[in-house]
Structure 1
Amino acid sequence: MNPSTSLVPAVGRLLLALLFLLSGFGKLAAPEATMGYISMVGLPLPQIAYAVALLIELGGGILLLVGFQTRAVALVLAVFSVVTALSFHFDFGDQNQMIHFLKNIAIAGGFLQVVAFGAGSFSLDARLAADKTAAAARA
Structure 2
Amino acid sequence: MVDPATPAIPMRVGKSERNGMTDIAALIGRIFISGVFIISGIAKIGAPTATMAFISSVGLPFPQLGLAIGIVIETVVAVAFLVGYRTRMMAAIIVVYCFATAIFFHNAWSDVNQLMHFWKNMTMAGGLMQVIAFGAGRYSLDAFRS
* Whole-Å separation in 1 of the counterparts to 2:129 and 2:23: 18
- Residue 8 of structure 1 pairs with residue 36 of structure 2: no
Superposed CA deviations along residues 61-100 of structure 1, whole A, max 9, x for unmatched, are 1001100000000000001001000000000100000000
Which amino acid is 1:90 matched to?
N
- Residue 56 of structure 1 pairs with residue 101 of structure 2: no
- Residue 100 of structure 1 pairs with residue 109 of structure 2: no
* Whole-Å separation in 1 of the counterparts to 2:130 and 2:20: 20
Q: 1:33 aligns with which of 37, 50, 65?
A: 50
Q: Which residue in the other structure is 2:14 paired with?
A: none
Q: Aligned residues: percent identity?
A: 43
1:115-126 superposed matches below 5 A: 115-126=132-143
Q: Which residue in the other structure is 2:83 paired with?
A: 66
Instruction: Flag structure 1 segments of 5+ consecutive residues without an equivalent.
Output: 130-139
Is the contact made by 2:22 and 2:137 (CA closer than 8 Å) also made in structure 1? no
* Whole-Å separation in 1 of the counterparts to 2:20 and 2:129: 23
* Whole-Å separation in 1 of the counterparts to 2:23 and 2:37: 23
- Residue 77 of structure 1 pairs with residue 101 of structure 2: no
The structural deviation recorded for 1:5 is: 1.9
* Whole-Å separation in 2 of the counterparts to 1:79 and 1:111: 10
Q: Which residue in the other structure is 1:45 paired with?
A: 62
Q: 2:104 aligns with which of 74, 84, 87?
A: 87
RMSD across aligned positions (CA): 0.7
Spell out structure 1 runs of 4+ moving beyond 6 A. none
Paired positions, count: 129
**TM-score between the two structures when normalised by the length of structure 2:** 0.87
Superposed CA deviations along residues 38-66 of structure 1, whole A, max 9, x for unmatched, are 00011110000100110011011100110
SS of 1:92 mapped into structure 2: coil
Between Structure 1 and Structure 2, which shows a larger proportion of helix residues? 1
Instruction: Flag structure 2 segments of 5+ consecutive residues without an equivalent.
Output: 1-17
* Whole-Å separation in 1 of the counterparts to 2:44 and 2:63: 12
